[in-house]
Amino acid sequence: MKALSALAFSTAWSISLSYIATIQPVFAALENEPNNSFNTRQFLPSSTTTVNGQLESGDVDFFGFSNLDTGSLFTADINSKTIDPLLGLLDDSGNIQAINDNKSDNSVLSLLSGKVPASGSLNFAVSGLRDINLIGDHLESGSYTLSLNTFNLPKASTNPTILNGGFETGNFSDWTTLGETTIETKTFGSNPTEGNYQALLSTGNKTFYSSIIEEFLGLEAGSLDNLGKSLDPFPFPGGQATQGSAIQQIFTGKAGDILTFDWNFLSNEEQFPSLNDFAFVSISSLSDLADVLSPTVISSTTDFFKETGFNTFSFKIPTTGIYSLGIGVTDWRDSGTDSGLLIDNVKIVSVPESNYGLSLLGFGVLGLILRLKSKQQNKVKSISVHR
């Protein structure tokens, strides 16, 4: 199981590596015992971003990071070649806020993300497999590295039109990303619909809580929850979008032009109504692309069990102006199984201005013909009179 609990203040999380690269310089520290309880946790200098530790059977290591920028985003993850770790997040009173055992379906390593609270402090506990109460109930033994990164919420600039819509640069240039976002080729198991590259968004690895995705895309708070409930055939109380990823591009659109892109929704979820992960698009309004219960879901040749195959989204620009295109995918109710979304061939199809011009030209030509015809008729009448 990937995530066992989460807080509404954003304990599920993620951001693209391009943004993590802009963080503060790395300063490593060594774990110091005794730090086997919250009260004896090891407080680290504010410049520390990496801790190298040793976990023993029955051991739990506690750490405190302080003087962080309030409201900034964070990711914390564990790397180890010898243990199957579990990572916990605690508040300043020692209460467990979130637990992560496996960061994705393909990794047993742990990862957490969210927002730095008002206190500017983050407290973490490193333990072993399935020790969800952080009491040392595990048999893991070995070395690990705990890394913390903090960063500001990414902000998009405005492009004159959609740029790099086929991702043929091999990266996300001209896009702003949040979450687990990668560029894939046909070796992924699904051919791009245009060129050699396509974008993949996932709900595994570095993903963010829905409230942060909403803030990133400029959506109304709770809008992803509301969309998920509208797709849920059994909308039990408490249903919510948990964690996911998204990309955004702000562009200038012209009235009448058509925005299109190709998408393929993928998932490892069983077709169980209460775990209905979904993909979505936001431009002028928020709408779904597909979900686990979509009738078109088929077996997949990718790392995911099933997919919809590529479909095309289309949107007609109503008025000339600046638009924000957001595309994303999110888990629903849980975060234990991954879903994904492939995107390609994002483009603007311009409606030729000549359509209007040709109409005016047509009326002009028609008027000229009628005038010439009238002159000819008058000329004939004139000749007839002289005769």
Structural domain spans, the chain: 3-151, 158-349
Sign of CA dihedral 313, 349, 181, 213: negative
Give pLDDT, residue 22. 42
Among 2-16, 149-163, 211-225, 284-298, name the one with the lowest average pLDDT. 2-16
- What's the whole-model pTM score? 0.83
Q: Give the separation between CA 325 and CA 226, rounded to whole angstroms.
A: 19
User: Given this model, what pLDDT does residue 130 score?
Assistant: 94
When mean pLDDT is compared across 171-175, 291-295, 314-318, the lowest value belongs to 291-295
Band the pLDDT of 358: cuts 50, 70, 90. Answer: very low
Cα gap 232→187, rounded to integer Å: 33
pLDDT score of 239: 80
Confidence category of residue 236, pLDDT binned at 50, 70, 90: low
Reported confidence tier of residue 351, pLDDT bands at 50, 70, 90? confident
Instruction: Identify the pLDDT of residue 273.
Output: 66
Instruction: In whole angstroms, give the CA distance from residue 149 to residue 26.
Output: 9
pLDDT at 284: 86
pLDDT of residue 326: 98
Q: What is the pLDDT of residue 204?
A: 95
Give me the pLDDT at residue 225, please.
95
- Rounded mean pLDDT, 275-280: 94
> What class does CATH assign to 3-151?
mainly beta
Residue 336 — pLDDT band, cuts 50, 70, 90? Answer: confident
Residue 354 pLDDT level (bands cut at 50, 70, 90): low
Helix 210-217 and helix 223-231, axial crossing angle in degrees, nearest 10 = 110
Least confident of 12-21, 88-97, 208-217, 237-246: 12-21
**Number of residues in the chain:** 387
Inform me whether the pLDDT recorded for 1 exceeds 80.
no
Confidence of residue 26 (pLDDT cuts 50, 70, 90): low
Average pLDDT, the chain: 87
* CATH of segment(s) 158-349: 2.60.120.260
For 87-96, 160-169, 234-243, which range has the lowest pLDDT when averaged over its residues? 234-243
Q: Does residue 356 register a pLDDT over 60?
A: no
- The answer, yes or no, to whether residue 4 has pLDDT greater than 80, is no
- 212: tokens are 């942060």
Instruction: Please report, rounded to a whole number, the percentage of residues in the chain having pLDDT higher than 70.
Output: 83
* pLDDT tops 70 at residue 260: yes
| 16-25, 164-173, 208-217, 312-321: least confident range | 16-25
Q: Distance between CA 175 and CA 194 in Å, rounded?
A: 18
Q: Which residue has the higher pLDDT, 238 or 280?
A: 280
| Least confident span in 167-181, 253-267, 339-353 | 339-353
More confident residue, 384 or 159: 159
Q: Is 200 left (phi over 0), alpha (psi -120 to 50) or beta?
A: beta
Whether 241 and 225 have beta carbons less than 8 Å apart is answered as yes
Q: What is the mean pLDDT of residues 272-299?
A: 91
Q: Please give the angle made by the CA atoms of 329, 273 and 331, to the nearest 5 degrees.
A: 20
Mean of pLDDT values over 9-24: 38
Provide the pLDDT confidence category of residue 132 given band limits of 50, 70 and 90.
very high
Could you tell me the sign of the dihedral formed by the alpha carbons of 13, 57, 46, 147, in that order?
negative
